[in-house]
Structure 1
């Protein structure tokens, strides 16, 4: 089975289920965990996955190779692509519902609400719960909170700043014009402050620069992204 042809010939789940029959007991446990927690896998390392199943990292790596993937990172990339390809953007889904020929407005609304609810429910993974609680604890203990969102993330940052500002004090929205200007905004940060970086696309250079600089300043960092 070639990894390069995986997405063209079969879905990720079809490949996993068909290959699982030829695995050992421990390898089947790895495959089953991946299938049951597929949206969590892109955020885990091989070490973290091994700890979840209580096996060795080498067993995880051998299982991934046995399943036909070139490496654990390669499998995570395929999972991310699979999720993107099978998830319809909300606006397109809404337009599709209105373009239907049944003429039932109430049914269209019900379908949109139900689908959105299912998407939100599927986000609730053990990884998200654990990191959400850690982030909440960091924010609660922080003296000041700075929010950074550039380009496509800007609107999300503004909205998040508006929401967080209603329930906490000392919430600031950074408004840099680039990586050089960003450093000037971060010079005032202290180890007691928190920087939230919102990334809705790839890791833009300015955002990476901000996080790297923030690390050198010993300021706590939180990163919210869609990858």
Structure 2
């Protein structure tokens, strides 16, 4: 039986900011592997390297050394154009500030990555409506962000992250602007929707209440993986 490779893998990755005496070593040889359908939390103190690790995983930051693989493919060999295509089709992103376009409705926001991928408008909006329904906000499909609550905005953003059926969803503090009940519910819905699509989810968070939705919790401190618990 062929060996199944992790859907996302970073190996011995290092990264620093600044230079000379002002240099800060953000990542010190971290290695993390994530499988399909797995929900992984990355926790730790501020300044521990969590966000830098997420940026590297999302191909938004090139590490100083080490390897990043998506579905076994070493992204270090790709051109910037190829990396952008991989981000569009194989990665989904979720941010604490939602990053929705105020001029678009919920359905249109979800359809944006589909349209960039070449999907026709009608099909993109149909897919968007289906995803909004799976996250419990289909009734908000025609509303713009200013008409939505924080929880509704994050559900719309989660639907957008799932739009192109990515292999991995990367979430940066997705509950930071939500109350505890809403944050937990949105995270549970995101995890369930991702698992239904056989996608992995990596969540950077300070919110310990999310431990219950995760398959694993990885702790980063001073740029190193100090603990990995299941």
The structure with the larger Rg is 1
**Which structure features the higher share of helix residues?**
1
With the length of structure 2 as denominator, give the TM-score of the two structures: 0.27
With the length of structure 1 as denominator, give the TM-score of the two structures: 0.27
**Which structure features the higher share of strand residues?**
2
Structure possessing the higher relative contact order (Cα contacts under 8 Å, 6 or more residues apart) = 2
